[in-house]
């Protein structure tokens, strides 16, 4: 069990002068479940592989516990990794796969089989111990990959999109099993995914990456409530937040025909930047249908009914730029507006997010 620290760690792939991971600073607590999330190609796997020792750290340092592991080979780091493809040894049985690391560590045979059996029991793999990976289903292979990691009782678990090869239903159930198992074992875990739902449901904390740069690292709720910039705001939450640029006049942002007050701090930052507009975001679920004149008018273009929820796709009336006018909101499925109708919407006070139109950083 150990903490993990990234200290200004960077990785430049040969032949590229843009870093795949750019001066990453990250402190992961003992026993914490940290999720790295971000769009494809943002450097999640590279970060994880740097921690595993499979990728060089070109600048900065990485510590596991109080040991500097920056230049140590993988086998001296005491970590276990679950690969996206599972990477099981095809010619070994399930038991041999799980016992391989212990064998390399010269653990005596009796202890080895006891630990493999224990892991197999936890993961419901006992009937399959003598099978080859080829003869297992996708879900079973995934569990063998997990088993190979947990028999080692390592300092840190590393998991790179371990659920992406499972079907949607199995993914949801395995998701909660992995989270529960991690809580039970209490091993520090770094988990990579591109799926923000996975990140939000599994992580103690979630680190959002974009283009190799850490955007924000916080609890799932804090990411949802107080995104640090417009990228995080748009990435976390489904359907994603409506973020549009609106003109600022007299201390208010003007949405269609409605004036939304901005705080003194927010206005201060905008004034210093010299911006006469603001990036304003509001989540589909932060919007209420109100009577005429109390909100901004929206023409309904499409209504999606999902049973428990309904989503309204519409355009704000009175905005010149047609693209900037499109928004999504959640509405009561019992009273959905008709297509072509004009409805009035209001963002619940305090649930709007203001960002700088120049830097995308959160204001105030």
Partner 1 sequence: MLTPSLPAPTATKPRQPPAPRTLTAGERWRLRAPLLPALVFAIALTQVPFLLTLYYSVQSQNLLRPGSKEFVGLANYGKVFTDELFRNAVFNTVTLTASTVILSMLLGIGLAVLLDKKFLGRSVVRTLLITPFLVMPAAAALLWKTSMFNPVFGLVNWMLSPFGVDNVDWASRYPMPAIVGVLVWQWTPFMMLIVLAGLQSQSPEVLEAAKVDGANAWQTFRRVTLPHLRQFIELAILLGSIFIVQTFDAIFMITQGGPGQATTNLPYFIYQQAFRAFDVGEAAAAGVIVVVATITIAMVALRVISNLFTEESA
Tokens at 33, concatenated: 């479940």
Query: Token pair 């399959």 is at which residue?
Result: 128
Taking the C-alpha atoms of residue 143 and residue 149, their distance in angstroms, rounded to an integer, is 10
Stretch that binds ligand ADP, among 35-43, 104-112, 282-290, 312-320 (CB under 6 A): 35-43
Q: Does 56 bind ligand ADP (CB under 6 A)?
A: no
Instruction: Decide: is 104 part of the binding site for partner 1 (CB under 8 A).
Output: yes
**Helix or strand holding residue 168 (H, E):** helix 168-185
Stretch that binds partner 1, among 15-23, 100-108, 208-216, 281-289 (CB under 8 A): 100-108
> Does 142 interact with ligand ADP (rule: CB under 6 A)?
no
Q: Which two tokens stand for residue 78?
A: 């005491």
Which residue's CB is nearer to partner 1, number 87 or number 317? 87
Which of 42-50, 86-94, 221-229, 333-341 is the region at the interface with ligand ADP (rule: CB under 6 A)? Answer: 42-50
Does 193 interact with Mg ion (rule: CB under 5 A)? Answer: no
**Shorter beta-carbon distance to Mg ion: residue 113 or 164:** 164
Of 97-105, 184-192, 253-261, 291-299, the segment contacting partner 1 by CB under 8 A is: 97-105
C-alpha 117/C-alpha 137 separation (Å) is: 20
Closest CA to 263 of 195, 188, 363: 363
Rounded Cα distance, 287 and 264, in Å: 23
Cβ–Cβ contacts within 10 Å for residue 341, how many? 13
Helix, strand, coil distribution of the chain in percent, nearest 5 = 30, 30, 35
User: Which of 24, 35, 43, 175 contacts ligand ADP by CB under 6 A?
Assistant: 43
Nearer to ligand ADP by C-beta: 40 or 250? Answer: 40
User: Token digits for 227?
Assistant: 């995104």
Q: Does 337 bind partner 1 (CB under 8 A)?
A: no
| Residue least distant from Mg ion (Cβ) | 45
Residues 296-335 that bind partner 1 (CB under 8 A): none
> What single string gives the DSSP state of each residue in 207-276?
EEEETTEEEEEE-HHHHHHS-SBHHHHHHSSSSPPEEEEEEEETTEEEETTEEEE--HHHHHHHHHHT-S
For residue 331, the minimal CB distance to ligand ADP (Å) is 35
Q: In this chain, which of 88, 116, 125, 327 binds partner 1, going by CB under 8 A?
A: 88
Does 192 engage in binding with partner 1 (CB under 8 A)?
no
Taking the C-alpha atoms of residue 111 and residue 106, their distance in angstroms, rounded to an integer, is 10
End-to-end Cα separation, the chain, in angstroms: 38
What is the bridge-based pairing of β-strands 67-68 and 59-64? antiparallel
Residue reference for tokens 């959002």: 208
Tell whether residue 91 is a contact of partner 1 (CB under 8 A): yes
Residues 55-84 that bind partner 1 (CB under 8 A): 73-75, 79-81, 83-84
CB of 40 to ligand ADP, least distance (A): 4
Site of tokens 């569990």 = 143
* DSSP element (H, E) containing 312: strand 310-316
Q: Which is nearer to partner 1, 48 or 269 (CB)?
A: 48
Instruction: Compute how many residues bind partner 1; rule: CB under 8 A.
Output: 24
Closer of 38 and 314 to ligand ADP (Cβ): 38
Q: How big is the site for Mg ion, counted in residues (CB under 5 A)?
A: 1
Q: Which is nearer to ligand ADP, 45 or 196 (CB)?
A: 45
Give the tokens for residue 112.
């080895």
Among 12, 13, 83, 313, binds ligand ADP (CB under 6 A): 13
Q: Which residues contact 179 (CB under 8 A, 6 or more apart)?
A: 33, 201, 202
Determine if 40 is a binding residue for ligand ADP (CB under 6 A): yes
For residue 45, state whether it binds Mg ion (rule: CB under 5 A): yes
Which parts of this chain interact with Mg ion (CB under 5 A)? 45
Question: Under the rule (CB under 6 A), what is the footprint of ligand ADP?
Answer: 13, 20, 38, 40-46
Interaction site with partner 1 (CB under 8 A): 52-54, 73-75, 79-81, 83-85, 87-91, 100-101, 104-105, 134, 148, 152
């Amino acid at each position: 069990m150990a903490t993990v620290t990234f200290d200004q760690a960077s990785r430049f792939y040969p032949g590229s002068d843009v870093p795949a991971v750019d001066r990453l600073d990250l402190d992961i607590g003992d026993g914490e479940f940290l999720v790295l999330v971000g769009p494809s190609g943002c450097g999640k796997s590279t970060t994880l592989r740097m921690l595993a020792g499979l990728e060089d750290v070109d600048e900065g340092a990485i510590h596991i516990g109080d040991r500097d592991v920056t230049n140590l080979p993988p086998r001296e780091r005491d970590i276990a990794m679950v690969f996206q493809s599972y990477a099981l040894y095809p010619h070994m049985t399930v038991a041999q796969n799980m016992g391989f690391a212990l064998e390399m560590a010269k653990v005596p045979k009796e202890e080895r089989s006891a630990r493999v059996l224990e892991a197999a029991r936890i993961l419901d793999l006992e009937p399959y111990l003598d099978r080859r990976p080829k003869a297992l289903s996708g879900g079973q292979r995934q569990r063998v990959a997990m088993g190979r990691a947990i028999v080692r009782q390592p300092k840190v678990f590393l998991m790179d999109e371990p659920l992406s090869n499972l079907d949607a239903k199995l993914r949801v159930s395995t998701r909660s099993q992995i989270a529960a198992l991690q809580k039970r074992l209490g091993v520090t875990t770094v988990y990579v995914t591109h799926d923000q739902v996975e990140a939000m449901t599994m992580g103690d904390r979630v680190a959002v990456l974009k283009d190799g740069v850490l955007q924000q690292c916080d609890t799932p709720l804090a990411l949802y409530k107080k995104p640090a910039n417009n990228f995080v705001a748009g990435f976390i939450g489904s359907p994603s937040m409506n973020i549009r640029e609106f003109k600022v006049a007299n201390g208010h942002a003007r949405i269609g025909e409605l004036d939304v007050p901005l705080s003194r701090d927010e206005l201060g930052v905008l004034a210093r930047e010299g911006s006469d507009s603001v990036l304003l975001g509001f989540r589909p679920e932060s919007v209420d249908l109100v009577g005429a004149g109390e909100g901004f008018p929206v023409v309904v273009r499409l209504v999606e009914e999902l049973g428990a929820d309904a989503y309204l796709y519409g355009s704000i009336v009175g905005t010149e730029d047609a693209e900037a006018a499109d928004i999504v909101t959640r509405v009561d499925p019992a009273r959905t507006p008709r297509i072509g109708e004009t409805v009035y919407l209001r963002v619940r006070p305090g649930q709007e997010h203001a960002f700088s139109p120049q830097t995308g950083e959160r204001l105030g």
